[in-house]
Every structure is written in structure tokens, then in C-alpha cells.
Structure 1
Amino acid sequence: MENTLVDKTFRDSSGNIVIAQVPNPPLILWIAASLLTLAFPSGKTNTVLDFVANASLFTWAWLELFQGVNYFRRGLGLAVLIGLIALKIV
């Protein structure tokens, strides 16, 4: 099989097209913590949950950026990482 840019962008090492995957633990933790922040809209619990959600999303994006199975997943990690940092700066 020829190793073109499209193949590197969307295929993993086995040749399967990978765009979405089963969520890994940091992404599951981000979803759970984000949903729990809706149940606790203010106070210390909200602050802790917000920190956990942001830290887990940062971890997921970092892992995707450096260990993603293809260029698409790595680009997705980079985009989320930049977006997360930009939202915290503003």
C-alpha cells in the first residue's frame, strides 16, 4: 500500500481509517467532571470539578498530540490544546 498524505492523515498503523475512537480515561473524566459542574454551579466543589475537567482535557489533548494514531488525531489534540489554553487566557 502506498503511504500518501491522506493515508498518514486518516489511517492508523494497521491501515484502518480512524477518525473517532472509544473515549480513553482522561476524556471520560472530563465528561463526568464537566457534567458534575452543572450540578454544582458555584462554590469549592465547582472549582475543584472545573480544575479536574480542565486538567483531564489537557491530558487527553497532550496524549493525542504526541501519541495519536494518525495526523488527524494529532491535529485534533493540538486544536483542543490551543483552544483550552486560549480560553483560559481570555
Structure 2
Amino acid sequence: MKIIVKNEENRFSLKDITINDKKIDTEKEYSILLTDTTKSILKKINPKCAIEQIGDTTLSSAWIAAMSNGQQPSAPEDYIEVEK
């Protein structure tokens, strides 16, 4: 997943989100792991988005649980692109 932001005079705005260089399918559900800071920013950008809170867990235990269920991370890529 890549987040494309635009730098506008010391302020960033979200331009697009892509997965494997394709626009996201708005009808599809995606699972991502978020930090508390990222979660609060996402809720400000899109207050209607549904965020499921995983119980008392760490990032590493969430990765282990996901991968033990057969889920695999996407291939690595630059995950933030800043346009001017």
C-alpha cells in the first residue's frame, strides 16, 4: 500500500492510496495495522471509516497472528510518495 501526499506550503494533503500501483477498490475491505497516531489521523481524514481495535497486543504479535492464519504482507515498496 502506498500513500501519495501532496506538499502544499508546509502542509501535506492526501492525494491517493494505491496498492501495487493500482487505485484501491472502494468496494473491497482491506486490513492494515495502524499505530495510535496513524489511527487518529485516519479518523480525521475519513470519520466514517470503520477501524477494528485488536485487543491488548503488540505490532509483532499482530504480524505473527496474521501470518499464522495464512495472510502474507504485500511486496515491499516505498509506502509514502510526496508530490510537490
TM-score range, shorter chain: under 0.3
Which one scores higher on RCO, CA 8 angstroms, separation ≥ 6? 2
TM-score w.r.t. the length of structure 2 is 0.27
**Richer in strand (by share):** 2
- TM-score, normalised via structure 1 length: 0.26
